[in-house]
Amino acid sequence: MIHHTHIICHYNEIGIKGGNRDYFEKMLVDNIKNKLDRDISNGFEHARPRTNSKIIKSSKINSRNSLDYKHSKVTANIGVGVKRISGRIIIRLTNKEQMKSKFELILKNIFGIANFSFAIESKQDIKILQEDCWNLIKNEKFKTFRVTTQRSEKNYPLTSQQVNEKVGDYICKKLEKDVRPVKFARSGAKQFNRVNLKNPDINCFIEIVDKQAFIYLEKIDGPGGMPVGTSGKALVLLSGGIDSPVAAYYMLKRGVRTDFIHFHSTSPASVGKVKELAKIINKFQLNSKIFIIPFTEIQKEIMAQTPPKLRVIFYRRVMLKIAEAIANKEKYLVLVTGEAVGQVASQTLENIAVIEDAVHPHTNLVNKSLLNKKTTTDKNNRIGVGVYIPVLRPLIGFDKEEIINKAKEIGTYETSILPHEDCCTRFIPKHPETRAKLTEVKEAEKNLNVEKLVKEAIKNYNSEKL
């Protein structure tokens, strides 16, 4: 039985060159540590009870090649340490083979990880490396193999290719002596070339880093993307349907933290469902906030004051305005929706344009004074209150089928399809407008005191941490 001593995590370095690299790596270490801290401690008999688990705020790793493993209270307790070294992140395990599948599940959901491997610590001494590699693969079933060495310790006396050859030769010799070769060879073990560089049955990876050496046989795909938190934070309009949770997923994938805003009618069930969805999405980040905004009174007002065919347009316009107001106060950089072109009546290009006009007024029609709205910046010269907040639609070019498949993969689908009373399906007109005209909408909006509705809605808003 092989005891894995470490997990080696690799990330794609493209896009993180130069000044960003340090920030990227630190964030990834913190995300891994915090996730392990929370999820490993939760549900393992060896771990401390949940009440003792304290999520640590940030790591204090100072140098890129920091050698010390950083522990949080809980991970230290179960013998896990995380450190970054020479372009990889190394997780030290102490005899926790039984947790392998749990580790795998967690790491597969941490954005920024390109791939990871359960590894065994060996020594840089070539003789020990040869022996350890042989011990690692001798019980595997294979006809052909290769050795792939990566060497970030440039003072090491052998090149990567020399290590490949020395270990490869050693394994070949062992295979010749081994009692089993006959089983694999087609026509006599000795003529059979067991090394296949292009398409081997088994690949023995060796990594020589700092003063250590690690060996492993398998690279497991991570989710790719960027570490969550490296790209700012977004406010996602979360409806309870299939699309918006998937939209949140794609923002997280690019390193954007996501919090949520939900507009609800009378039904408390929709609120429970949306919180559940937000919690599922939290597996890609540590936690989130949700703003729940009562919408029934607003809908009644819209129904009373505007033509039925434009109702959905007005629901969406007011939602965007309320979300924008909260985003401004809470310093979110963007709003996110789950819209895709042509998916439903409200999502034609014409309607998307007319809906978005609520927060980004069309220049020909707008009151000129709005255009002079000043962009303000904070002390770090970042945009802040007063600037128009972009509305991003990560699913704009997706087919419904693709969205459904992704929703199933990330685990939101089953919850999304539970029946609930959406605030918009409840008061939906029979024939909604599919090609709204801005002039018409503006005219109809004169009967609606939008500013008052927005002010009322955000008067006592608060958020819940999930």
The contact set with Mg ion (CB under 5 A) reads 239, 241
Binding of ligand ATP by 244 (CB under 6 A):
yes
Binding of ligand ATP by 237 (CB under 6 A):
yes
> Closest separation between CB of residue 418 and ligand ATP, Å?
13
> Closest separation between CB of residue 249 and ligand ATP, Å?
12
> Closest separation between CB of residue 422 and Mg ion, Å?
6
- Write the DSSP string, 19-30: THHHHHHHHHHH
> Closest separation between CB of residue 242 and Mg ion, Å?
8
Strand, coil or helix: 155: coil
Amino acid at 107: L
Binding of ligand ATP by 313 (CB under 6 A):
no
Partner interacting with residue 338 (select from ligand ATP, Mg ion, none; CB below 5-8 Å by kind): ligand ATP
One residue of 7, 228, 322, 423 binding ligand ATP per CB under 6 A:
423
Q: What is the DSSP letter of 69?
A: P
Site for ligand ATP in 256-275 (CB under 6 A): 262-263
C-alpha span between 29 and 129 (Å, rounded): 28
Binding of ligand ATP by 339 (CB under 6 A):
yes
Tell me the window of 46-54, 126-134, 157-165, 343-351 that interacts with ligand ATP (CB under 6 A). 343-351
Q: Which of 323, 316, 321, 320 is nearest to 292 (CA)?
A: 323
Binding of ligand ATP by 420 (CB under 6 A):
no
> Closest separation between CB of residue 230 and ligand ATP, Å?
24
Residue 148 · residue 204 · CB < 8 Å: yes
Partner interacting with residue 356 (select from Mg ion, ligand ATP, none; CB below 5-8 Å by kind): none
One residue of 230, 337, 351, 412 binding ligand ATP per CB under 6 A:
337
First to last CA, the chain: 40
Residue 397 · residue 341 · CB < 8 Å: yes
Dihedrals phi, psi of 234, to nearest 5 degrees: -120, 155
Partner interacting with residue 6 (select from ligand ATP, Mg ion, none; CB below 5-8 Å by kind): none
Q: Which is nearer to Mg ion, 203 or 239 (CB)?
A: 239
C-alpha span between 353 and 33 (Å, rounded): 43
Residues constituting the chain: 466
Binding-site size, ligand ATP (CB under 6 A): 19
One residue of 352, 424, 441, 454 binding ligand ATP per CB under 6 A:
424
> Closest separation between CB of residue 456 and ligand ATP, Å?
17
Classify each residue of 440-465 as buried b or exposed e, where b means 16 or more C-beta atoms within 10 Å of its C-beta. Answer: ebeebbeebebeebbeebbeebeeee
Partner interacting with residue 263 (select from Mg ion, ligand ATP, none; CB below 5-8 Å by kind): ligand ATP
Quick note: the x/- pattern for ligand ATP over 393-412, rule CB under 6 A, is: --------------------
C-alpha span between 253 and 393 (Å, rounded): 14
> Closest separation between CB of residue 422 and ligand ATP, Å?
6
Binding of ligand ATP by 415 (CB under 6 A):
no
Binding of ligand ATP by 296 (CB under 6 A):
no
Classify each residue of 123-156 as buried b or exposed e, where b means 16 or more C-beta atoms within 10 Å of its C-beta. Answer: ebebeebbbbbbebbeeeebebbbbebbbeeeeb
Q: Which is nearer to ligand ATP, 171 or 336 (CB)?
A: 336
C-alpha span between 99 and 212 (Å, rounded): 24
Element (H, E) at 246: helix 243-253
Give contact residues for ligand ATP (rule: CB under 6 A): 237-239, 241-244, 262-263, 319, 337-339, 343-344, 346, 422-424
